[in-house]
Structure 1
Amino acid sequence: MYQTAGDKLHNIDSAALARDYATARRAGYLNSAAVGLISTPVLARHEAFARDLAERGSAAFFDNVDAILKGPRIAGARLFGADASSVAAATSVSEAISQVAWWVHPRAGQNVVSIDIEPEAVTLPWLRVAEDTKAEVRLASLRNNPGSLSIDDIAAQVDKNTVAICVSHVQWITGYRFDLKALADLAHAHNALLVVDAMQSAGVVPIDVQAADVDVLVAGSYKWLCSFGGVAACYLRPELLDRFRPIMVGARSSDPTPPYDDIDPRRLTLPDDARRLEYASTAHPSRVAFSTAVSYLLDIGIDRIQAHTQALGSMLAEGLMKLGARIVTPLDPARRGAMLSAEFPAHNAATLAQQLAAQGVAVSPRLGLLRFAPHIFNDETDIDKALHALRRIL
């Protein structure tokens, strides 16, 4: 018998979690890989600041300027095990990877390696650059067998002309989790950069960018980090900062100092740290909420959240296999994130997801698979509810 999630989290205030995520207890929500639910403290912080901004305008902004401008960088640094000077606040994973792709600017004869089942934020920036430069974007072919993914698929595409490997830490369809250090070693052995999308891992998988030796790592706010969209924390290896030249610049590029009474538009002067990736004003309430959300999860402990979600995943896998499912996600905890994907060969995944939604269970169909994504606010009752609903449907 698998150890239960309750055993894993016996020191966590379950009453507080139930209070902070009251809707989760009613919804059977197993879909944080799509959109994470937002806790009461994060929602309250967002609403309070948005109301203050609406009523007091610039006074509210300047009273909260450190939380707006510095907060996301500090939160990202805590989340990634980095110094705040090496973390920037972007608006999204797409924006951050696009900035990096245009800076790297692979040319004809060079190549970038990724996978053909990655989210578009990972691959499209490189494909767009390659349209102009005639570089090669090599996509390891996994669409016909996504469950077979391993680092060997990446290694087979890398050669002396590779300038970057760009992949997800945790794969969004199958939940496969790469060993970041092994990927970094592979990239650096070929003098290439490792660029990582941590959208499906940050918040539920511990990340240490320095120990992993990654070059760029970015995570957005609205999935496992359980906040509002419009913010992404992006780590840039300190050794890259002197060379990093952003393709997009604007009102925040020179990191102007409040009250902004001495701005010089005649020259471009970039900050000497990761702030050079930030170029414009963004959604201020979302930035404030992001810091609160990260602190909320870190106070619980990412390692404990990982143990909790993986325990739920193991329980779910056991139940799904009894229902005849083929589990595509690795069962080895060292090779998976928080989600679990399964195939029911005689059933359409999109139809199953719709039928489960009608019974109060939220999951996602992905590439013919049914993807379950439990988070900190879920427990064994959610797994039981999903399995009972599936049993009735099947």
Structure 2
Amino acid sequence: MGVLFRLSLAFATLLMGGCERPPAPPLDQQLYIWQRQWTPAHAPALRQSHTDFSSLRVLALQAFPGAGWNRARIDPLLLKADGRPLIAVIRLDGQLKSLDQDEVIAQIQQVLNDWQAQGLAPVGVEIDHDAGNARLPAYGQFLRQLRQRLPASLRLSITALPAWLDSPALPEVLATVQSSVLQVHAVSDPRLGLFDPDQARRWAERWSAVTTRPFYLALPAYGVALLTQESGAPVVESEVPIDLGSERRELLADPQQVAGLAASLRADPPKHLAGLIWFRLPLAGDRRAWSLTTLAAVARGDALTRRLVVQLAERDGLYDIALVNQGNLDSPWPQRLTLSVGGCDGVDALAGYTLQQTPGLLTFTRIREGRLAAGAQRAIGWARCTKIDQGGFNVDP
């Protein structure tokens, strides 16, 4: 009887184990490269991103209403040397009244031919078109035509909008392509913010119930500024300044919020979710993008930390005073910083801060907003003193 019981228990355990969901494979991590004009800053950015991101989705061609076609001026030598799989992204503005299928397909074929002539071998094409729901059936027809005329070896994917979840045409559109990229940032009124992690998760779950093919989530690693027109409608400013003479409201995707969503997706991925695609590759000097250090840390799932310290460089009693971010998380400039000093006969603050001197203390107070990238430093002032206590500082965020 004991033997039979043990056999029954073992059999039940096997059955229960067979019903458990197998561990999900790691989520793939990819990058968008969205600059229309490549610069020398792309070389170090590509090199530093190589370990953490498997593939590059590169803006290749754009079509705007009234402005025609605009090619991105890529650096083919850099991309060839990089060696990662390439997906050419074709941006067809959502304000285009209609898609001339033959012209669009001819333009796509030409850019692919030119890339191949430059030694590049893209593995796929992604169409980025913000079609309204009423035009989704026509968009699906265009995608079917494109699929027939592209080489079978090229994978076809699309950037997709959460609003399409309400369209009965969506399943047929998704059946036309090999994968989709669900954009969950900057898809609502910008005055409501760039990104809502809870809403993004809900959209991903709904998308997984509609598609039968792999899909990715496009996640934000950037910020924008909102400028107000006389009409009251917001104008979005990215890296290129727009001079409207109006106030700017800065919006930035919070790395900790996005990291929370990414952790949730790793732990419990929706069905068919293949990976995350980050918008966009940051370059040195970008004002409104996460640093590559922060982006890579979020993509890997590392713990995020800020660690602001004061760095002093002394020469003949003159101290240059700088802030250093030793963490892996970009940080706002601190509101206030105090330093213990002695015997000062000359002090000053640099742009962005004012300085107040009291006996034994220097107080730097922020007068405008700014960010200090992970691993970066910024000079905030100087002082000619007989003594500055390297450890006697306090940073007030």
TM above 0.5: no
Structure having greater relative contact order (Cα 8 Å, sep ≥ 6):
1
Structure richer in strand, relative to its length: 2
How does the TM-score come out when normalised to structure 2? 0.26
How does the TM-score come out when normalised to structure 1? 0.26
Structure richer in helix, relative to its length: 1
Q: Of the two, which has the highest radius of gyration? A: 2
